Amino acid sequence: MLKFFKGYKVFAIVFAAISIIIIALIYNTLNVYQPLPIYQPSMVSTELVDSTIQYKKKYHKIADFAFTNQNGKTITQKDYENKIYVADFFFTTCPTICPIMTKNMVEIQKEIINDTEVMLLSHSVTPEIDTVAQLKRYAIKKGVNDSKWNLVTGDKKEIYKMARKSYLAVKDDGDGGPFDMVHTENFMLIDKKRQIRGFYDGTNPEDIEKLLKDISHLKKEYNN
């Protein structure tokens, strides 16, 4: 009887060891790094995408741009070269979702303030109102850090083009105006190759948490 239990003990130890190895292998398999999706125009609601690119299924990137920030400096894609960044569209006199979006962008700024790889970029959809002076007042009021976050204004046609052909982020207002925009609550996560890697509700705290996690996740692509 004693020999039987001794044999069972050996079997139990061997079985436990094999089980641990199998569980470890399964865990490692399930935790293989899965990259974030690369969004293409064909993957996004057609109301947010210019009709000329709605069919596009690959190779979509943020186009070259040149806008003016809250300090009167011309900001181009060169200022975001080799950076991950979060982009959105807003206007300083917006009484509804913009204050919430800006508040949440400030929270993101706090989290990335010491991260040299990550920046923020907000485009005004009412550039005729949001002059450099207006953007500067807004930036000071909201606590914008100039080294991390650019609020930009410029030619409305160019902003409209960027919004609908690059960031896939705003709606046409539908009233027949040539470049009138209805901005959404979307935050877009852009990678170092100028590709869209995520869309988030800028008014939703849970989406902001996901965005911050996705930034960390995206950074692994460049650290592996």
185 in the same domain as 128: yes
Domains in the chain, number: 2
| Residue 203 pLDDT greater than 50, yes or no | yes
User: 146: domain range?
Assistant: 41-223
Q: Average pLDDT in the 112-116 region?
A: 97
Q: In this structure, are residues 69 and 80 in contact, taking their beta carbons and an 8 Å threshold?
A: no
What's the one-letter identity of residue 124?
S
Mean model confidence pLDDT for the chain: 89
Q: In this structure, are residues 43 and 188 in contact, taking their beta carbons and an 8 Å threshold?
A: no
pLDDT at 28: 46
Spell out the residues 6+ positions from residue 123 whose beta carbon is closer than 8 angstroms to its own.
67, 87, 88, 89, 90, 152, 159, 162, 163
40-78 pLDDT, tens digit each: 999 999 999 999 999 999 999 999 999 999 999 999 999
Q: In this structure, are residues 200 and 207 in contact, taking their beta carbons and an 8 Å threshold?
A: yes
The domain that holds 63 is classified in CATH as: 3.40.30.10
- Residue 168 CB coordination number (10 Å): 25
21-to-9, 18, 46, 55, 190 alpha-carbon distances in Å: 19, 5, 49, 48, 39
152 in the same domain as 100: yes
Phi/psi at 19 (5° precision):
-65, -40
Binding residue positions = 94, 98, 183
129 in the same domain as 23: no
Binding residue positions for Cu cation = 94, 98, 183
